[in-house]
Structure 1
Amino acid sequence: MNWEVEAPNVVTEARFRELVESGYSAEILCQESAHKKGPSYYGVWILRAVSADGVEKLLVTARTRTTHNDIKIREFKTITGVVSFLVGIGFSHADVPLEEGQRTAHKLIAPVKGSSD
């Protein structure tokens, strides 16, 4: 199945990473306000890759052959999950909205040419 044609507004993690690396912003949307339980904060967050001209691609879970027709939005249930995902795709910080309906956007900064770690 060609997801760009059949489901043009959704992407899996690998494509999300490519889009963010190519200049799209990673937008975090809070779907359910965060609440503290023990040492962690729980809620529901989803992510979108957003181009400079406003094209949005919603992050969805990876699919298997048996469920390829099922598109499921990838939901993060903890702030730790959101932060871990962002760090995993190259971000060095995270601004996570805590109230339902809030959103924040993050953009990768291109590495400085000639710098080394």
Structure 2
Amino acid sequence: MNWEVEVPNVVTEARFRELVESGYSAEILCQESAHKKGPSYYGIWIMRAVSDDGVEKTLVTARTRTTHNDIKIREFKTITGVVSFLVGIGFTHADVPLEEGQRTTHRLIEPVKGSSD
């Protein structure tokens, strides 16, 4: 699949965060199988925000208004990078696919409203 062509269904980090907080799932796609190098695992992963009805928004590094050629899919090259990104959004766990073509999804748990201390 050519990820560079799937425009305008792309979002920057701020919008990705908003979508996940509003109920979209965060989907992690492994684009290149993980391999160990020293103490870390390297590969290529991308992320999409996916709604319950199947709308997909791919995470990009920056979205400009000039041309579609300026849009670049954000790639994570280490498992540490994937986990750090997920923790930064508010996830408390990470299930990272390790083989090319695999994908996993995560959904934020909504805080209980109206709970008393």
Q: Do they fold alike, i.e. is TM over 0.5?
A: yes
* CA positional deviation for 1:112: 1.7
For residues 37-85 of structure 1, what are the alpha-carbon distances to aligned partners after superposition, in whole Å with 9 as ceiling and x for unaligned? Answer: 0000000000000000000000000246888850100000000000000
SS in 2 for 1:35: strand
Shift of 1:14: 0.2
Q: Determine whether 1:66 maps to 2:66.
A: yes
Further displaced range: 7-16 or 51-60: 7-16
Tell me if the contact between 2:4 and 2:72 (Cα under 8 Å) persists in the aligned partners: no
TM-score (norm 1): 0.87
Cα separation, 2, equivalents of 1:58 and 1:18: 13
Residue range with higher mean Cα deviation, 59-68 or 7-16: 59-68
Q: By how many angstroms is 1:5 displaced?
A: 15
- Of 64-73 and 84-93, more deviation after overlay is shown by 64-73
Aligned residue for 2:16, secondary structure, equals helix
Worse-matched range after superposition: 99-108 or 60-69: 60-69
Give the root-mean-square deviation of aligned CA atoms: 4.3
Measure the CA separation in 2 of the matches of 1:78 and 1:33: 11
What fraction of aligned residue pairs are identical, expressed as a percent?
A: 92
Which structure 1 segments of 5+ residues have no match? none
TM-score normalised by the chain length of structure 2: 0.87
Q: Using the alignment, how far apart are the partners of 2:32 and 2:45 within structure 1?
A: 7
Which sections of structure 2, spanning at least 5 residues, go unmatched? Answer: none
Work out whether residues 48 and 58 of structure 1, in 8 Å CA contact, stay in contact via their aligned partners in 2: yes
Judged with a 3 Å threshold, the aligned counterparts in structure 2 of structure 1 residues 31 and 16 are, in CA distance, closer, same or farther, namely: same
CA distance in 2, matches of 1:3, 1:100: 15
1:3 and 1:10 in contact (8 A); partners too:
no
